[in-house]
């Protein structure tokens, strides 16, 4: 009985295996048959992600200049027929490192000509609306142009701006200033070969240079359409640099000697190599001479200081009103301390008093009062040569009030000293450091 059962089970098992085999073969056949009518879509191979384009750094201005820039507010001129760059033009442009990348763009297709107020000549620029570089061009013939000067152009966000003093000229001026300051230091410094001058030293010259720059800025701000040209600004800065290089000869003679020695040094410097100065040296010399000449002080009977030289020349018809206005900026800078903050004004006066041979430490109450009253007269009687003085140096009225307060305090100290109450130390401290007490 058991053997029959096992035999039947074996047969059933084999039958199940055969049936399964047939089912599998039938399914494969059906799939192949279906694939013939419905082909599967092709398989896509994995692709690499596309690299992102590199981020370009922001374009930096092509010229970094310590000189303030002025906006272009000139007349746009369509590009005139322009010759190819000559060897001379290439050599002149190549001297300016910021132009090397723009030489190939110097052609009629990629450039434009502009007239800019305050700049003598036409200005060529490859693209005035982006960071770029410009060249002042001068007409040499009916159809030709020549390189006259180089301007740096910076993108300031709204249009382009032009720096009126090229970096090459600024560097040449800095070299001249170092040379002038060295001469002043050797002649009138602490170990001066001629005489030690506490006031007319290198610090005063540096202050006049700085104040001349402030007055130029005030002038250009008042005249945005006709600012000072590169030549005019350079002449004024150089006049401030050399205006006190010669001392000890007396008022008038000092200025004439300073003009002569200053021009001699300038003509032997790198600045004269610039084409602009070679061709317009006569104008440069005239502005330089007039600016220094007007720093000649004249002391009046009322105890004030005036600088009337150029006004006398204007009345005689020897100079123009514009020459008077712009060259007087240097003489205003020379007396600019009157309108500077009180401490700066008073310290300058103490240096001058010491230069006159007086002691600021061993001082009596009467001497202190006499000096303070003299300073007050100078402030009250000072009439600037230009309207830009009070714009650049606005503290003169404030200084008058502070000197008046100082005089009252010195009078109190003198009265106490007369009664043996106040000490000499208090007087000395008030006289030499009034800024500690007068706010």
pLDDT tens digits, residue range 284-334?
Answer: 999 999 999 999 999 998 889 999 999 999 999 999 999 999 999 999 999
146 forms bridges with which residues in the sheet? 138
Burial (Cβ within 10 Å: 0-12, 13-18, ≥19) of residue 145:
buried
Higher per-residue pLDDT: 357 or 70:
357
Tell me the backbone φ, ψ of residue 161, rounded to 5 degrees: -130, 150
Does the pLDDT value for residue 241 go beyond 70?
A: yes
Quick one: CA torsion of 94, 97, 98, 103, rounded to 10 degrees? Answer: 20
Distance between CA atoms of residues 120 and 148, nearest Å: 9
89's CB contacts (< 8 A; 6+ apart) are 106, 146, 147
Q: Is 394 helix (H, G, I), strand (E, B) or coil?
A: coil
Q: Please, which residues bridge with residue 138 across strands?
A: 146
Q: What are phi and psi of 122, to 5 degrees?
A: -85, 150
Pairing of strands 70-71, 160-163: antiparallel
How many degrees, rounded to 5, is the angle at CA 126 between CA 123 and CA 127? 100
How many helices (H) and strands (E) in the chain?
A: 15, 9
Mean pLDDT confidence for 55-62: 46
φ, ψ of residue 160 in degrees (nearest 5): -110, 160
Average pLDDT over residues 230-235: 86
More confident residue, 418 or 313: 313
For the ranges 10-14, 39-43, 261-265, which has the lowest average pLDDT? 39-43
Average pLDDT, the chain: 76
| Predicted local distance difference test score (pLDDT) of residue 394 | 96
Burial class (CB in 10 A: 0-12, 13-18, 19+), 214: middle
CB atoms closer than 10 angstroms to residue 370: 12
Tokens of 412: 């109190």
Q: What is the DSSP letter of 145?
A: E
Q: How confident is the model at residue 373 (pLDDT cuts 50, 70, 90)?
A: very high
pLDDT at 262: 97
Give pLDDT, residue 58.
46
* Per-residue pLDDT at 341: 94
Cβ atoms within 10 Å, residue 106: 20
- Confidence class for position 230, pLDDT limits 50, 70, 90: confident
**CB of 92 closer than 8 Å to CB of 147:** yes
Superfamily of domain 168-296+314-334: 3'5'-cyclic nucleotide phosphodiesterase, catalytic domain (1.10.1300.10)
pTM for the structure as a whole: 0.65
**More reliable by pLDDT, 291 or 62:** 291
């Amino acid at each position: 009985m058991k053997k029959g059962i096992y035999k039947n089970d074996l047969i059933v098992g084999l039958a199940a295996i055969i049936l399964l085999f047939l089912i599998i073969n039938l399914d494969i056949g059906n799939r192949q048959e279906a694939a013939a009518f419905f082909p599967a879509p092709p398989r896509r191979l994995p692709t690499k992600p596309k690299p992102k384009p590199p981020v370009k750094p922001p374009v930096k201005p092509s010229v970094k200049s310590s000189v303030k820039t002025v906006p272009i507010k000139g007349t746009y001129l369509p590009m005139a027929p322009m010759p190819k760059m000559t060897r001379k033009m290439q050599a002149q442009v190549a001297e300016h490192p910021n132009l090397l990348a723009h030489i190939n763009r110097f052609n009629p297709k990629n450039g434009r000509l502009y007239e800019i107020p305050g700049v003598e000549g036409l200005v060529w620029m490859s693209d005035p609306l982006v960071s770029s570089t410009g060249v002042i061009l001068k007409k040499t013939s009916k159809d030709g142009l020549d390189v006259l000067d180089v301007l740096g152009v910076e993108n300031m966000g709204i249009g382009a701006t032009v720096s009126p003093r090229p970096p090459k000229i600024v560097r040449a001026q800095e070299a001249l200033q170092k040379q002038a300051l060295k001469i002043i230091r050797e002649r009138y410094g602490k170990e001066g070969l001629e005489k030690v001058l506490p006031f007319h030293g290198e610090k005063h010259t540096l202050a006049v240079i700085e104040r001349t720059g402030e007055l130029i800025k005030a002038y250009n701000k008042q005249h945005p359409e006709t600012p000072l040209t590169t030549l005019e600004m350079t002449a004024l800065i150089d006049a401030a640099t050399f205006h006190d290089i010669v001392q000890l000869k007396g008022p008038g003679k000092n200025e004439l000697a300073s003009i002569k020695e200053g021009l001699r040094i300038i003509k032997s410097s790198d600045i004269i190599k610039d084409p602009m100065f070679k061709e317009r040296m006569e104008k440069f010399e005239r502005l330089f001479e007039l600016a220094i000449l007007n720093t000649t002080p004249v002391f009046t009977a009322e105890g004030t200081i005036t600088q009337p030289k150029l006004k006398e020349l204007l009345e005689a018809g020897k100079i123009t009103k514009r020459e008077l206005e712009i060259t007087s900026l240097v003489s205003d800078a020379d007396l600019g301390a009157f309108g500077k903050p009180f401490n700066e004004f008073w310290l300058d006066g103490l240096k001058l008093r010491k230069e006159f041979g007086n002691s600021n430490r061993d001082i009596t109450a009467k001497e202190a009062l006499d000096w303070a009253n003299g300073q007050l007269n100078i402030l009250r009687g000072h009439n600037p040569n230009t309207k830009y003085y009070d714009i650049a140096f606005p503290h003169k009225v404030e200084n008058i009030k502070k000197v008046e307060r100082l005089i009252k305090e010195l009078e109190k100290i003198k009265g106490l000293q007369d009664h043996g109450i106040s000490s000499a130390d208090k007087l000395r401290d008030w006289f030499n450091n009034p800024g500690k007490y007068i706010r």
